[in-house]
Structure 1
Amino acid sequence: MKVYISADIEGCTGVVTWKQCGAPDGTHPDWAFARRMMTHDVNAAIRGARAGGATEIVVKDSHNVSLNLLIDELEPGVELISGSRPGPDGMMEGIDDSFDRCFLVGYHGMAGTQDGVMEHTISGRVHRLWVNGVETGEMGLSAFAAGQYGVPLVFASSDDKGCAEAAGLVPGIETAVTKFGMGRFMARLRHPSVVGSEIEAGAQRAMGLDLAPVVCAGVAAVRIEFNRGEEVDQASELAGWSRVGNYVIEQEFRDWALAHVGIRRAISFAGM
């Protein structure tokens, strides 16, 4: 079986603040630690997937500009998608209908999640986001991206709040808790050895699940609520978006592929 793993960093073992999630010069010791923990969590998922029957694994580095995972420390035999481009599938670039399973490693809760560690949705500009009336975060967006190719989401690792979000999104999904959120920048951390064992075991079990893909069928009605009026000033200038109040824009897209591109473009344009 062929497995696609999308890895973010905020939900990884030991990570609790933004300064751990990147550095302008690429040398900050806190970022170096987070990179190692991200690689640690992904490796555990790889081992579990293989124990469950995976024969081919592609990993997508999905945090920021995708230069976080340490390829020389990844389990041998996997392929890594690194670097960035304005592609159609965002954090799921490279996925297609040749994959049998999808994992989300190190993801985080959506914007507004109470006590979710570094909760946000794509950008700090976003207050809330809905797809067809359902409030959605990065897990949901990634699940829809996989679902358009018929690939089921079967495993997620995150803090306890993110794992609860994943369970609500995909009933029956396997999850592994990396830490217990106590606030946006505070958590009760679990030891890497414990988290690694649970990710590995959960990933192995996930390979045996028979879950339906998360599909956004038909029209995708998107609503984005920004934090600042000037962000909406910018985003509402894009074709197709309607401004409905000082902080909100809406648009209907004929399918998920167009909606996903439209969402990311609007959020990006809001910061210009």
Structure 2
Amino acid sequence: MRVYISADIEGITGLVSWSQCSRPDGKSFDYAFARRMMTHDVNAAIRGARAGGATEILLKDSHGNSKNLLLDQLEPGVRLISGHGSGTDGMMQGIDETFDCAFLVGYHAMAGTLGGVMEHTITGGVHRLWVNGYECGEMGLSAGVAGRYGVPIVMVSSDTAGCDEASRLLLGVETAVTKTGIGRYMANMLSPDDTGMLIEAAAKRGVARRKEIAPKIWSEPAHIRVEFNRAEEADMGAKLLSVPTRTNGYTLEGTYPTYQEAHRVVWNLMAMSAEGIGSQY
């Protein structure tokens, strides 16, 4: 049985701020700790998947530059997709129809979620995102990619707000809470020993129940709408031929034949929005 794991970092055990988990630079003074904790949570998911019968596991490091997981400290016998910039499936690069189920480990709540630790949607420039009129974040985007390959998301680990979002989006999904947000940069934490057991147990249950949980399939043609925080973030994306409508200074939207195409446009818009911010200097 093949299991796919996509791992983000903001919903990981013990983390509450960008100074811990942004990237390896002088502003992220606690990044080494964040990498250890991310590897810790992923390892717990791997153990749970194997306890549930998984025989092959593929990991995708999906945070930032996607070079966060400590390969030499991962459970043996898994494969890891590391790095950023190539491929078309975003945080789900490497998944296909041969997988039996998938996990989202360390994911976070969508932008604007009350009590969501480091809540955002892909980039800090996004205020709100809709797919087919349903407001969602990275979990919705990733679940849709898996769903188009017929693969169900059976386990999500996150903070309480993120797990609540997953339960609304994915009927019957198993969840593991790593912390409860008090604000965007404050949380009531569980210890790594406790979260490890919770993630492992949820992963095992998810694999066992994989045939009971339906893949998330967005209807097609698929419509996307992205509302940015600033007009200049929308300016650059508006130049893309694949984005036919700018409804106001902040918002770009379009309808696409397949969800995969719509998903690719979302990620292109995010990349372009960062260029828009840079253009003001």
Is the pair's TM-score, using the shorter chain for normalization, greater than 0.5?
yes
SS at match of 2:99: coil
Question: Does residue 248 in structure 1 map to residue 251 in structure 2?
Answer: yes
Q: Using the TM superposition, give the Cα deviation of residue 86 of structure 1 relative to its aligned residue in structure 2, in angstroms.
A: 3.2
Task: Report the counterpart of residue 258 of structure 1 in structure 2.
Answer: 261
Q: Which residue of 2 aligns with 1:234?
A: 236
What is the alpha-carbon root mean square deviation over aligned residues? 1.2
Q: Which moved more, 1:262-271 or 1:137-146?
A: 262-271
Indicate whether 1:267 and 2:270 are aligned: yes
Alignment of 1:106-185 (within 5 A): 106-185=106-185
Question: What aligned pairs does 1:13-162 form with structure 2 within 5 A after superposition?
Answer: 13-25=13-25, 29-162=29-162
* Gaps in structure 1 of 5+ consecutive residues: none
Q: Distance in 2 between matches of 1:247 and 1:75?
A: 44
Deviations 1:129-169 (A, max 9, x none): 00000001000000001011000000000000000000001
Conservation of the 8 A alpha-carbon contact between 2:61 and 2:82: yes
Residue-by-residue CA offset, 1:179-215 (whole Å, 9 max, x unaligned):
0001110000101100000100111011111211101
Q: Decide which moves more: 234-243 or 124-133.
A: 234-243
Against the structure 1 CA distance between its residues 27 and 73, is the aligned structure 2 distance closer, same or farther, given a 3 Å change threshold?
A: farther
Q: 1:225 Cα shift? A: 0.2
After superposition, the Cα gap between the structure-2 partners of 1:28 and 1:112, relative to the gap in structure 1 and judged at 3 Å, is closer
Q: Kindly indicate whether the alpha-carbon contact (under 8 Å) linking 2:40 and 2:196 is maintained by their aligned counterparts in 1.
A: yes
Deviation of 1:28 (Å): 5.2
Q: Residue 211 of structure 1 corresponds to which residue in structure 2?
A: 213
Give the equivalent residue in structure 2 for 1:201: 201
Cα offset for 1:22?
3.0
SS of 1:271 mapped into structure 2: helix
Distance (Å, rounded) in 1 between the aligned partners of 2:24 and 2:8: 18
Letter in 2 for 1:135: E
Alpha-carbon separation, structure 2, partners of 1:26 and 1:261:
32
Preserved contact between residue 132 and residue 219 of structure 2 (Cα < 8 Å): no
Can you list the C-alpha shifts for 1:105-134, whole angstroms capped at 9, x where unaligned?
000000010110000000001000000000
* Distance in structure 1 (CA, Å) of the matches to 2:114 and 2:222: 27
State the alpha-carbon separation in 1 of the partners of residues 207 and 24 from structure 2: 38
Q: Which amino acid in structure 2 is aligned with residue 257 of structure 1?
A: Q
Percent sequence identity is 58
**Deviation of the 1:85 alpha carbon:** 2.3
Q: Which TM-score applies when normalising by structure 1?
A: 0.97
Give the partner amino acid of 1:206: G
Q: Could you say if the C-alpha distance between residues 43 and 155 of structure 1 is closer, same or farther in structure 2, counting changes exceeding 3 Å?
A: same
* Structure 2 residues without counterparts, runs of 5 or longer: 276-281
- Secondary structure, counterpart of 1:10 in structure 2: coil
Corresponding letter in the other structure for 1:260: H
CA distance in 2, matches of 1:234, 1:73: 40
* Distance in 2 (alpha carbons) for counterparts of 1:12 and 1:36: 10
SS at match of 2:30: helix
CA distance in 2 between partners of 1:113 and 1:23 (Å): 23
